[in-house]
Structure 1
Amino acid sequence: MVCRSQPSWYLSEGVGLSAVNDITFLENAAFIVAKKHFRKKPYYVDLVDLMHAAVFRSSFGKGLDLMSEKINDCQAAYRFSMNLYETVMKNKSAYTGFYLPVALAMIMSGIKSDKAFRMVKKITLNIGLYFQAQDDFIDVFGMPEQAGRISSDIVNGKCSWPIVAAFERANDIQRKILLENYGQTDHMKISIIKNMFGCLNIQEIYWNFEYGARKNINEEVDELPNELPKPLFQLIMAAIAGRQS
């Protein structure tokens, strides 16, 4: 398994299952650091509440992701639905990866407006979803040296953007082919999936999705009140737009 073009930590020599303890250590260390530096601040409780919410949302999203891999073919319409995909990704990665750091800064800077937090949450979760869709696209269509892995989402049967987009557009026969070959390690089956993605124009559909997602996010940023730093979100979008790895 690869994450951000780097081998997963548990695959490192001598790590293995001790990675479970390592992540527990890091999670608790975050709260210890917060207590050490901020417990006398008036916003400390809000800070800790948000951190607990992030841990919960991340665990919930990862749990859904793992459960989706066990859904049988009779429920494939749900397993590969855009609704499930967005729910998983917004909770598993977008909340902690994009909303959490911005919301923490807002709390520490004294912003109290519920509306401001709602607007920022909507924007950052959409950015996170856009970022994850990019990852999924690169995993299938990117060069191995860019992606850091070769079609691992196909091999592992992941609920990822390309398969969801394909399943939405496929007819009954095409869906049957997708289900018979997705989540397999055989190179022939992987090729069948990629060929089906080609037949369904998934690359073109993705480029249209990416353009629309960028446009919608930029419009949401333009609507932010002056108390929120629009350039921050513009910089984030500039950094990830059109990335190849």
Structure 2
Amino acid sequence: MAKRRQSVSIQEEDAFKLVIDELMEEIVWHPTHEDVDVATWLLKMVDYNVPRGKQLRGRGVISAYKSFVGNVTKHDLKPVYILGWCVELFAASFYIPEDIIRGSVTRRGQLCWHLVDEVGKAAVNDAFLLQSVMYFILDLHFKGKACHKYLTKLFHKCFFNTTLGQNMDSRIGKAQGFKEFTMENYYRISKYKVGYFSFYLPIASSWILQADGTPKEEELKLIEEIALEMGHLFQVQDDYLDCFGNPNVTGRYGTTIQGNCSSWFIIMALKKMDCEQERVLKEHYGKPGSERVHRVIKVFRDLDLVEEYRQYEIKCYKAIMKKITKLPESIPALYFSETLDLILKREK
């Protein structure tokens, strides 16, 4: 059974799910959008790419806001739900191009958007469209409020940093040989590519919303530090699931290997391999084909990297949890500890 946030009630989860439909109705029927064909495509594209995942980030906004504020009413949560969907739109806009770059086949248990009939290369523009929808919603619902300019600044910051992370990941994957597969580079990729939009954006946006004004930079810095460490752990877990997870659950198998991506497993293997294992990795890593994936994963298993990964996951968990316990009272530890427990030993 999938884990769920205990700080967010089932009723709140259900209410959150309904809001995306309301938001899309607002956009489709807005006076600036009169083309019926465009509206139909927009509804189809958003429905396919946005609400069908775990909603880890969107629900994280709800959890974080409740942790900051305490008792809330249904009325209080409506803007929080809207902000949560802005975060989910943000994430979906990056998944589409990432799937194209990596040559992925499935995402969230269904065909990647660019492989759907009648989509193809138009998926690139659809990623831009998702970002435009996100900013449209931010302006529509928060413009005129004290938090608007700070939310916009935050989304711009996370967008820039996530784009940097995607760029690093792509460039390192195109390099010849394994010389760029270092832990230093890997930390930078996980920090920028995953940490900002998956963990920093949900809690920082809720913090700005509840403050309804200028956020305290020193507190945002503490939030950022822990969020980026969680992003690193999340990326390492992704690497594990890509090689050793259940493809029927994760929807992928060996994409990091075939895509010549810098991953925790290849970096660890390069430190421990013998001459024969090095030959196998050089011959098969970064090349398409399930048989090549099998050969590389066998090397990972022979090097006992699965057990090493399990120990590393717990080590990261304990290190992050230690930092969470030292947070000042003004920053709710509950959001971080609950999120950390939610992703520990995750299966997708």
Q: Is the 8 A contact 2:174 2:260 kept in 1?
A: no
- For 2:135 and 2:264, the matched residues in 1 are separated by 34
Q: 1:4 to 1:68 in 2, by over 3 A?
A: farther
- Alpha-carbon contact 1:60-1:91 (below 8 Å) kept: yes
Structure 1: tracts of 5 or more residues without a match: none
Conserved? CA contact 1:43–1:107, under 8 Å: yes
- RMSD over aligned Cα atoms: 1.8
Match for 1:13 among 96, 105, 117?
117
Change (3 A) 1:42 1:60: same
**Identity over aligned residues, as a percent?**
29
| Alignment correspondent of 1:164 | 267
Q: Which amino acid aligns with 1:56?
A: F
- Tell me the residue number matched to 1:100: 201
Q: After superposition, what is the alpha-carbon deviation per residue over 1:88-130, rounded to whole angstroms, capped at 9, x for unaligned?
A: 1221122111111111111122273222111111111111221
Structure 2 residues not aligned, in runs of 5+: 1-103
For the residue of structure 2 that corresponds to 1:109, the secondary structure is: helix
What's the CA shift string for 1:185-222, capped at 9, x where partnerless?
24443232112112221111101110101101111111
Pick one of 196, 199, 204 that aligns with 2:299: 196
Aligned with 2:251 (options 132, 148, 172): 148
**Bigger radius of gyration among the two:** 2
- State how many pairs are aligned: 242
Q: Kindly state the Cα deviation for residue 168 of structure 1 after the two structures are TM-superposed.
A: 2.9
Shift of 1:5: 4.0
| Corresponding residue number in structure 1 for 2:176 | 72
Retained in 2: the 8 A contact 1:81–1:168? no
Could you state the TM-score of these two structures normalised by the residue count of structure 1? Answer: 0.91
CA distance in 1, matches of 2:149, 2:271: 44
CA distance in 1, matches of 2:222, 2:129: 33
Contact 1:182–1:193 (8 Å) recurs in 2: yes
Inter-partner Cα distance in structure 2 for 1:212 and 1:6:
33
Which has the larger displacement, 180-189 or 199-208?
180-189
Q: Is the 8 A contact 2:327 2:333 kept in 1?
A: yes
The letter for the 1-side match of 2:192 is N
Query: Is residue 2:327 matched to residue 1:224?
Result: yes
Question: How far off is 1:172 after superposition?
Answer: 5.5
Give yes or no for contact 2:173–2:260 (8 Å, CA) kept in 1: yes
Q: Distance in 2 between matches of 1:31 and 1:170?
A: 48
Counterparts of residues 134-145 of structure 1 (less than 5 Å):
134-145=237-248
TM-score, length of structure 2 as denominator length: 0.66
Distance 2:293 2:287 in 1: 7
C-alpha distance in 1 between matches for 2:109 and 2:308: 25
Which runs of structure 1 show a deviation greater than 6 angstroms over 4 or more consecutive aligned residues? none
